[in-house]
Amino acid sequence: MILIGAITLAFILLGIVVVFNGVLYTETISSSSTSQSTADAEVIEQGLERNLVEIAHRWNLDESGDTHPSDFDNEVIDSGGFRDQYQSTTARSRSAVVDIQVDDVDGAEQAGVITDQEINDDEIDLHNESVGHLELELGGADSTGTVTINATQKDGTYDKITLKETGRYELDGTSCEFNGPARVDLVTGEVNVSPYDCAGLDLITATDDYKYDTIEIEGSRFDGKYDLVAESSSVGTDVGVWEITADVTYESNQVSYERTDATIKVYGENG
């Protein structure tokens, strides 16, 4: 079951309450609707998108090995508690999403997932597809190993980084260094320890424009693991969620509408 308390808090901080009550509104936005009402609807949708993306990403890393992505809609709407959390809240005169349905995730919407893989000498064939997530989980730098990650794009160009264990972690060729244990996000370049002064760890670009042929991870004596989510469902042994298709119905005093078949990317940019 996915924990969504933080997601609820995010909506409350925005002054917005979300309710699911099974009612389906199909009226379109009328010409008398105020611009503020339209803006509220957009804020609601953006918030829902962010929350569904976060749930899907957590599900990929935590549940993909045990549950098929075709069951993701059930995870969000029923057993995962996303709907139940908001059914206990009343909207009254405030803006509300009154219904959301998530379609089955299949075919091109599926992702390939690798989790908790020991760092070794691996070459991952990405079939010229996008990468959404690549993160290293590093131990305490007790040994003196080295790991090199080489990401080769579809056109043959490549980027690589090398991390060394020297009692701390050092990014080769830079002044970047930090203590372990640590998690290093190779998409955002962020490290979950503080303080650290690092640039150059954002090896992967997670957009549709960047297609990767292979990722090589060379570090047979390096203490650590990695997680990876790629667009191709044939990557790794687990299958996750790459895109979500959802129907969202919104209702307020001035405006109501239904957005059907909205495509939400779990990785990359929406909009």
Q: Is residue 112 part of a domain?
A: no
* Domain assignment of residue 230, yes or no: no
**Contact assessment for residue 135 and residue 183, using Cβ atoms and an 8 Å cutoff:** yes
**Model pLDDT for residues 218-233, shown as the tens digit of each residue:** 997 888 999 999 998 8
Task: Identify the pLDDT of residue 12.
Answer: 36
Task: Give 83 or 248, the one with higher predicted confidence.
Answer: 248
- pLDDT (0 to 100) of residue 237: 85
Q: Considering the entire predicted model, what is its pTM?
A: 0.80
**pLDDT at residue 137 tops 60:** yes
Q: Are 171 and 203 in contact (CB under 8 A)?
A: no
The string of pLDDT tens digits covering residues 3-22 is 444 444 344 333 333 333 33
Angstrom distance (rounded) from CA 48 to CA 102: 12
Q: Are residues 166 and 210 in the same domain?
A: yes
Is 92 part of a structural domain of the chain?
Answer: yes
Question: Quick check: is 97 in a domain?
Answer: yes
The pLDDT of residue 101 is: 75
The dihedrals phi and psi of 126, each to the nearest 5 degrees, come to -100, 0
| Statement to judge: residues 97 and 15 lie in one domain | yes
100 and 151 assigned to the same domain:
no
For residue 83, name the pLDDT band (cuts at 50, 70, 90): low
Same-domain pairing of 127 and 95: no
Asked if residue 115 belongs to a domain, the reply is: no
Q: Is residue 234 part of a domain?
A: no
What contacts 194, CB < 8 A, 6 or more positions away?
A: none
pLDDT at 99: 66
Residue 216 is inside which H or E element, if any? strand 212-218
Confidence tier at 254 by pLDDT (50, 70, 90): low
Expressed as residue numbers, the domain containing 42 is 5-106+242-265
Poorest-pLDDT segment among 11-15, 71-75, 144-148 = 11-15
> Among 107, 135, 102, 114, which Cα is nearest to 64's?
114
Do 98 and 147 belong to one domain? no
Asked if 64 and 110 touch (Cβ cutoff 8 Å), the reply is: no
Query: What is the model's pLDDT at position 93?
Result: 41
**Quick one: pLDDT at residue 109?**
85
Residue that wins the pLDDT comparison between 202 and 38: 202
Please count the structural domains in the chain: 2
- Higher-pLDDT residue of 35, 54: 54
Rounded to the nearest 5°, which phi and psi values hold at 44? Answer: -60, -50
